[in-house]
Amino acid sequence: MIQLEGEGWRLAWREDRQPFTVLIGGQGWAAELTAAEARALAAAVADLVSEHQGLVDQLLAEESIGLELERGPWWLALEGDRQHWSLKGVLSPEPGQRALEVSWSLEASPALCRALERLGGQP
């Protein structure tokens, strides 16, 4: 079992909890994801953060930015400025399955993204 958490976020992976092996949470909420949903989230978040990093040098200090990415079952948005940003998303799986809306604060988002990187190919 892998369990990571910080102020306003939580991430845990437990192989024996099929089909929902990953627990993800934010301020006052938590939900379980399948391994495929978690992998898709981690990959999409990494790409969104990378896109933000690629644009940072083009932004003025007072400029804000909003980026969106839709991939697989996830829609994600990153909103903020050069140094501080929040993350939110919506899981819209196949018809007949549950959906989920997630969000993390300015303080929690970067830490959660680093935690998703640490899980790597685990889930």
DSSP string, 5-42: EETTEEEEE-TTS-S--EEEEETTEEEEE-HHHHHHHH
Task: State pTM to two decimals.
Answer: 0.91
- Domains located in the chain, CATH noted: 2-119 (2.30.31.10)
Residue 60 CB coordination number (10 Å): 8
Angular region, 61: left φ>0, alpha ψ -120 to 50, beta rest: alpha
Assess contact for 24 and 108: CB atoms under 8 A: no
The separation between CA 55 and the C-alpha centre of its own chain, rounded to angstroms, equals: 19
pLDDT given at position 123: 47
- Digits of tens for pLDDT over the chain (123 positions)? 889 999 999 999 998 899 999 999 999 999 999 999 999 999 999 999 999 999 988 888 888 999 999 999 999 999 999 889 999 999 998 888 889 999 999 999 999 999 999 876 554
Residue 68, both tokens? 């969106």
pLDDT value of position 120: 63
**pLDDT number for residue 21:** 95
Q: Do the beta carbons of residue 24 and residue 38 sit within 8 Å?
A: yes
Q: Which of 54, 45, 53, 52 is nearest to 9 (CA)?
A: 45
| Residue-by-residue DSSP string for 53-82 | HHHGGGS-TT--EEEEEEETTEEEEEEE-S
